[in-house]
Amino acid sequence: MGSREVLKLFKLLHRTRQKVFKNDPRALEAARLKINEEFKNNKDETSSEKIAELMKIGSDVEVILQTSVIQGVHTGPNKLLLIPRKELLLDNIPFCDAPTQKS
């Protein structure tokens, strides 16, 4: 893994952070600090196997952020308003009790 791929992942994680935690300054800052901390802690790594492993973990984190994180806003006592991003919303496909037979 070259430093170009590492930098590309670093930037991708920060872009994803900005999109996923939009309008939540506290989460934006916490995610920024965590991303920077993880990359800084491993900046002197020279083992290509370890770098590949860390890159895989970083890529997995990016996918999880993109596909699994939904913002929530407290609207009252014991009430939470969920604000899913448009790309997380799927078309509702009706359930079919009798599947069609393939010929």
pTM for this predicted structure = 0.78
The alpha-carbon radius of gyration of the chain (Å, integer) is 19
The answer to whether 60 and 53 have CB atoms below 8 angstroms apart is no
Residues 38-67 have pLDDT tens digits of: 999 999 999 999 999 999 999 999 999 998
Domain locations in the chain as residue ranges: 3-85
Round to whole Å and give the CA distance between 33 and 77.
30
Average of per-residue pLDDT across 11-25: 94
